[in-house]
Amino acid sequence: MKPLRILSWNILHGGGTRCEQILRTIEEHDPDIVTLQEFRHGSSKRILLDGLKSLGLDTVFAPETSSARENSLIIATRLAMQAEVFPDTTSPAKALKASLEVSATVDLNLIAVHFPQKKEQIPLFTALLDLPLPWLSECSLLIGDFNCGIPLVDSETKTFYATQLFQQLLSNGWHDAWRERNPDAREFTWVSTRKSNGFRYDHALVSKELNRSVLEVRYDHAVREKKYSDHSLMLLDIDL
């Protein structure tokens, strides 16, 4: 069995041209699971959802929003999946929770996140910190745009609102998959157009069990530099 590839990307909602760029990029990376943030149920919705299905990512969870202008999330996969909004059913969703059947004996717990700004981050961090303890001993993954990190390690400034809560996740047993494999590196997944400050907002936090199975984790910065989105995308290869 080939390694399982997971792609996570804040796609910065856009029109048909951007959707085609996004779909071509996804096709090039050939993932088994895709999580997308800043998806909108607007005029380009059908292009993106039909495109994902044409790539074989035909199990899709994209909860509805009360307005086509609200940002939401998508999980699309080749695997059998059960998914729901996390931590509740409020709209627009800030996170999606899924159980994916990797094989007859292995399931993957996954939460795709798109954290809001500042004080609005606290409820989602609290929900992640309250996840059932067995998640840390199972194959579990928290992935997406956290809008957070460790100042001057994951950024060029001291500006992060909820660093203590992010670090509490790490203290509780979650592993920053990219940082543990790149302890001295500095890469940024979003760069301010106003001040040119860089931030590593996009993370994959894995349980100890899943960390053993991570083969590679990397960013594709070219998609940000080409302005397909204002975020780099993340790729995680695991062997379960």
- Tens digits of per-residue pLDDT, 124-139? 999 999 999 999 999 9
Q: Which CATH number fits domain 4-238: 3.40.50.300, 1.10.1040.10, 1.10.10.10, 3.60.10.10?
A: 3.60.10.10
Amino acid at 69: R
Do 142 and 128 meet the contact criterion of CB atoms below 8 Å apart? yes
Do 34 and 52 meet the contact criterion of CB atoms below 8 Å apart? yes
Half-sphere exposure of 217 (CA within 13 A, CB side): 25
Give per-residue pLDDT as tens, 142-162: 999 999 999 999 998 887 899
Ramachandran bin of 106, using left for φ above 0, alpha for ψ from -120 to 50, beta for the remaining angles: beta
CA–CA separation, 45 and 47 (whole Å): 6
Give per-residue pLDDT as tens, 151-204: 999 998 887 899 999 999 999 999 999 999 999 999 999 998 888 899 999 999
Amino acid at 60: V
Do 76 and 41 meet the contact criterion of CB atoms below 8 Å apart? no
Tokens for 119, please give them. Answer: 């004080």
Give per-residue pLDDT as tens, 197-234: 999 999 999 999 999 999 999 999 999 999 999 999 99
CA–CA separation, 131 and 87 (whole Å): 10
Tokens for 207, please give them. Answer: 């349980």
CA–CA separation, 127 and 146 (whole Å): 14
- In this prediction the pTM is 0.96
Do 139 and 133 meet the contact criterion of CB atoms below 8 Å apart? no
Length of the chain: 240
Tokens for 114, please give them. Answer: 């798109």
Local structure of residue 155 (DSSP, 8 states): B
CA–CA separation, 113 and 106 (whole Å): 23
Q: What is the pLDDT of residue 43?
A: 80
pLDDT category at 12 given cuts 50, 70, 90 is confident
CA–CA separation, 75 and 163 (whole Å): 26
CA–CA separation, 236 and 170 (whole Å): 18
Amino acid at 214: V
